[in-house]
Amino acid sequence: MTADAPLKQPGRPSLIQVAALSGVSAKTASRALSGEGYVAAKTRQRVHEAADQLGYRPNGVARDLRRGAKASTLVGLISGDLANPFYSRLASGLERKLRVNGLQLITASTEENPEWERQLTDTLLERRVRGLVIASTMAGHDHLAGERIHGIPFVFVDRPPVGLSADAVLLDNRGGARQAARHLVEAGHRRIGVIGDLSRLFTHRDRIGGFAEVVETAGITGWADYLLEDAHDVATAERAVRELLGRTPAPTALFTLNNRITTGAVRALRGHPSPPALIGFDELDLGDFLGVSVITHDPEEMGRWAAQLLLDQLFGDADEPARHVVLPTRLLVRDSSERPPRDLGG
Amino acid sequence: MTADAPLKQPGRPSLIQVAALSGVSAKTASRALSGEGYVAAKTRQRVHEAADQLGYRPNGVARDLRRGAKASTLVGLISGDLANPFYSRLASGLERKLRVNGLQLITASTEENPEWERQLTDTLLERRVRGLVIASTMAGHDHLAGERIHGIPFVFVDRPPVGLSADAVLLDNRGGARQAARHLVEAGHRRIGVIGDLSRLFTHRDRIGGFAEVVETAGITGWADYLLEDAHDVATAERAVRELLGRTPAPTALFTLNNRITTGAVRALRGHPSPPALIGFDELDLGDFLGVSVITHDPEEMGRWAAQLLLDQLFGDADEPARHVVLPTRLLVRDSSERPPRDLGG
DNA sequence: ATGAAAGCGCTAACAT
DNA sequence: ATGTTAGCGCTTTCAT
């Protein structure tokens, strides 16, 4: 019971070593360090000194194993691209709400690669995070079916679960696209170029759907000729816009389906002698400065809702049915969409 | 040895249950599921079926505990603000390089709050991530002293370790600020407004230092009268710029010490009849479009270097001394800095 | 090709 | 106020 703990250098010291060095049992050392109470002040101090001296750091893995998954304070967020301000603002809203509830957010990026999403969810699930928020890029989610029943709570954001009933926070993509389309159609535009993201994504398809409703109701046929898809990054979007503008007849207006694509369009339109009208889905950094009309919404609010649904699953009734929250969009008219159609074609 | 495993619903099934259901021992089940080999094809299949049926998911916490910390594939990145494109690009470079080496990146944000940084590092360290990359907002790092010796490897980015020898990847802040200052001074500016971030941050102080060197050499006195600090967000920066422009005499040029502050300045200068020259540290989204001159550098490269240093610590000699890498900056002249000083004052 | 036993580091449960 | 025992779920060793 003296200070000579078995020195298996250079591994990290364990609680046992701390206990040995301070001449108490493991449990007492544990109590002293975790502040559980019922430890004499003197003992407590001796244990702390021993811990400091050895450079002891508790092993959270062992603790979690013993205490069960409920001990973890980590919540994971998995998304396609954390560099996108939409997701980073979502993450920010989520994090703040989690933090006041004693939870910590960790985020991971899949770069819209389903295989990486699968690996990341597996890793985080296996390491027993407390909960998971997913902006999924996968086509289906059968592999998560077991989780909700006897596992880790999760919430889908931005994109809904497929083949699975689960909580989700979504945007009114259809409604937003309708607002944009109506705005352009009412200004007299008949040839509207639409530039979209990866065509497999739910958000993309829904936005196209909303747009189609409006233009078809307005009697505009052949709109799909001016639809370009899979422009996932700024450069591709820029090229797509140039291509559209080079056509005869050229579109008199542009609807870009997310913030990156809008950025590409802004670039492509730079210095253009008679640019088409432009409206984009998602707010843009410096959007007011640039004078770009947008369909705006509140990514932080989406994050806060995701946190709320997760907290309800963690601390509320376990048997609640899955809930879906749909957040509204708002049309923000700035200069770029006020350019009238400038010819008689169409 | 029949299928009646102890049903302690509603917890998750363990390997034992899978083993029981398939009529083999735990070890055999483990072998079958982890692909370790030496399992009969038939057995393997039976085990997999049982696992699927129960919705089994291996417990990574238990696995890590048994295997030791080297089993983890998670590397953490802790930074002050992941929504800032500088950090998200850094994260992207880091992630790609880690991924090809079989490691996964998780990120966490401290919002420049030292207490939260402390909590997050503790949590990740205790849960035994494989390595840690930190853009630290703390004043000192004694608490990490033990880690490098018998613990988890870490690398500092953007801001150096204080009171501790550790690997780091830094920017040539001083040199970059000198480039900016020289550029403005050579154009004849004598009254240069400088708007800085949190004054306690290393990067901030270093940039001020580089600027001071140049202007003092040029015989400009009283430059500090035009220095405004602690403009940590866009709105504060915008206000700071307005304040500077309202002075008599007003500065003829502005040097903004990071991307957020530059954004604020761009806003403040909007519609100004005779705006001062402007140059900012860090590239800006749409910076070319906006015509803002900047001191640019490569955040992805910083991420890749951080990955390299971490990988060297993980797989190379453990006893290497700490290494510091300093990345260069480049002056990118666009319209905003070409505006000449417009009066005789100074 | 399979199994039994031990133990990773910690804490819950039950002493004392 | 402190100690003992057992066990979280897995994998390592060593048998067979």
CB interface of B with A, residues 135-164, below 8 Å: 145-146, 149-151
The answer to whether residue B1 is domain-embedded is: no
Q: Which residue of A has its CA nearest to B74?
A: A123
End-to-end CA distance of chain B: 92
> Which among B74, B124, B289 has CB closest to A267?
B289
**Number of domains observed in the structure of chain B:** 3
Of A10, A123, A128, the CB nearest to B150: A10
Beta-bridged to residue B280, according to DSSP, are: B256, B294
Would you give the end-to-end CA distance of chain A in angstroms?
A: 92
> B8 in a domain, yes or no?
no
Same structural domain, B235 and B313: no
Mean pLDDT confidence for B120-134: 94
Note whether A106 contacts B106, CB cutoff 8 Å: yes
**B237 and B276 co-located in one domain:** yes
CB A124 within 8 A of CB A102: no
Interval B306-334 mean pLDDT: 93
Instruction: For strands B293-296 and B330-332, give the pairing.
Output: antiparallel
Tell me the CATH number at B45.
1.10.260.40
Nearest-by-CA chain B residue for A266: B289
d(CA B340, CA B231): 26
Work out the minimum CA distance from B179 to partner chain A, whole angstroms.
27
Number of H helices, E strands in chain A: 13, 12
Residue in A99, A108, A122 nearest the CB of B106: A108
> Quick one: pLDDT at residue B6?
36
Q: 3-state SS of chain B?
A: CCCCCCCCCCCCCCHHHHHHHHCCCHHHHHHHHHCCCCCCHHHHHHHHHHHHHHCCCCCHHHHHHHHCHHHCCEEEEEECCCCCHHHHHHHHHHHHHHHCCCCEEEEEECCCCHHHHHHHHHHHHHCCCCEEEECCCCCCCHHHHHHHHHCCCEEEECCCCCCCCCEEEEECHHHHHHHHHHHHHHCCCCCEEEECCCCCCHHHHHHHHHHHHHHHHCCCCCHHHHEECCCCCHHHHHHHHHHHHCCCCCCCEEEECCHHHHHHHHHHHCCCCCCCEEEEECCCCCHHHHCCEEEECCHHHHHHHHHHHHHHHHHCCCCCCCCEEEECCEEECCHHHCCCCCCCCC
CA distance A111 to chain B (A): 9
Return residues with beta carbons within 7 A of strand C: A 11-12, 14-16, 26-27, 30, 33-34, 36, 56, 58-59, 62-63, 65-67; B 23-28, 31, 38-40, 42-43, 62, 65-66, 68
Q: What are phi and psi for residue B176, nearest 5 degrees?
A: -60, -45
Say if residue A203 is in the same domain as residue A291.
yes
Among A61, A72, A164, pick the best mutation site for testing chain B contact (most B Cβ within 10 A).
A61
A293-296/A330-332 β-pairing = antiparallel
Higher pLDDT, residue B342 or A311: A311
B contacts of A74 (beta carbons < 8 Å): 123, 127
Strands B104-109 and B131-134 turn out to be unpaired
- Considering only the beta carbons, identify the residue of B128, B146, B285 that sits closest to A61: B128
Q: What is the mean pLDDT of chain B?
A: 91
Chain B positions in Cβ-Cβ contact with residue A286 (cut-off 8 Å): 263, 266-267, 285-286, 290
Q: Domain limits at A29?
A: 15-58
Distance CA A83, CA A66 (A): 37
Answer yes or no: do A37 and A146 share one domain: no
Residue B111 has pLDDT above 60, yes or no: yes
A68 — alpha (psi -120 to 50), left (phi > 0) or beta? left
For residue A87, the SS3 value is helix
Question: pLDDT band at residue B226, thresholds of 50, 70 and 90?
Answer: very high
Residue A10 lies in a domain: no
Same-domain check for residues B166 and B307 = yes
* pLDDT tens sequence across B51-99: 998 989 999 999 999 988 788 899 999 999 988 999 999 999 999 999 9
Is residue A134 one of the residues assigned to a domain?
Answer: yes
Q: Is residue B138 part of a domain?
A: yes
Residue A64 included in any domain: no
Same domain as A200, residue A167: no
Is pLDDT of B119 > 50?
A: yes
Kindly state the average pLDDT of the residues B192-198: 97
Helix (H, G, I), strand (E, B) or coil at A283: coil
A209 and A262 together in one domain: yes
Distance from C-alpha of A236 to C-alpha of A250, rounded to nearest angstrom: 19
Question: Is residue B191 over pLDDT 70?
Answer: yes
Inter-chain CB proximity B61 and A57 less than 8 Å = no
Q: Report the distance from CA of residue B67 to the C1' of nucleotide C13 in Å, as an integer.
A: 28
Q: What are A143's two structure tokens?
A: 């592999």
* A177 and A245 part of one domain: yes
Which pLDDT does position A196 carry in this prediction?
Answer: 97
* Edge-to-edge order in the sheet of strand A227-228: A227-228, A192-195, A253-256, A277-281, A293-296, A330-332
Separation of CA A62 from chain center: 30
**Does A187 share its domain with A276?**
yes
Residue nearest to nucleotide C7 (CA to C1'): B66
**Is A234 found in the same domain as A222?**
yes
Q: Sign of torsion, CA B301 B159 B283 A299?
A: positive
Residue-level pLDDT at B69: 73
Check residue B4 and give its pLDDT: 35
| A66, closest nucleotide (Cα–C1') | D8
Identify which has the larger pLDDT, B237 or B145: B237
Instruction: Indicate the Cα dihedral angle A274, A278, A284, A289, nearest 10°.
Output: 40
Residues A188 and A303 in one domain: no
| A306 lies in some domain | yes
Q: CB–CB of B119/A99 below 8 Å?
A: no
Q: How far apart are alpha carbons A86 and B148 in whole angstroms?
A: 37
Minimum CA–C1' distance nucleotide for B29: C2
Is the C-beta atom of A63 closer than 7 angstroms to strand D? Answer: no
Q: Indicate the pTM of the whole model.
A: 0.92
Q: What is the length of chain A?
A: 346
Question: CA geometry: angle at B277 spanning B275 and B283, to 5°?
Answer: 115
- What's the full length of chain B, in residues? 346
Q: Is A102 contained in some domain?
A: yes
Judged by a CB distance cut-off of 8 A, whether residue B57 touches chain A is: yes
Nearest CB partner across the interface for B289, out of A69, A92, A266:
A266
Identify the CATH number of the domain in which residue B317 sits: 3.40.50.2300
CA–C1' distance A151–C2 (Å)? 31
Whether residues B78 and B126 share a domain: the answer is yes
Walk along chain A (346 residues) and give the pLDDT tens digit of each residue. 333 333 334 578 999 999 999 999 999 999 999 887 788 888 899 999 999 988 899 999 999 999 887 878 999 999 999 889 999 999 999 999 999 999 999 999 999 999 999 999 999 999 889 999 999 999 999 888 877 766 789 999 999 999 999 999 999 999 999 999 999 999 999 999 999 999 999 999 999 999 999 999 999 999 999 999 999 999 999 999 999 999 999 999 999 999 999 999 999 998 899 999 999 999 998 888 889 999 999 999 999 999 999 999 998 876 789 999 999 999 999 999 988 886 533 3
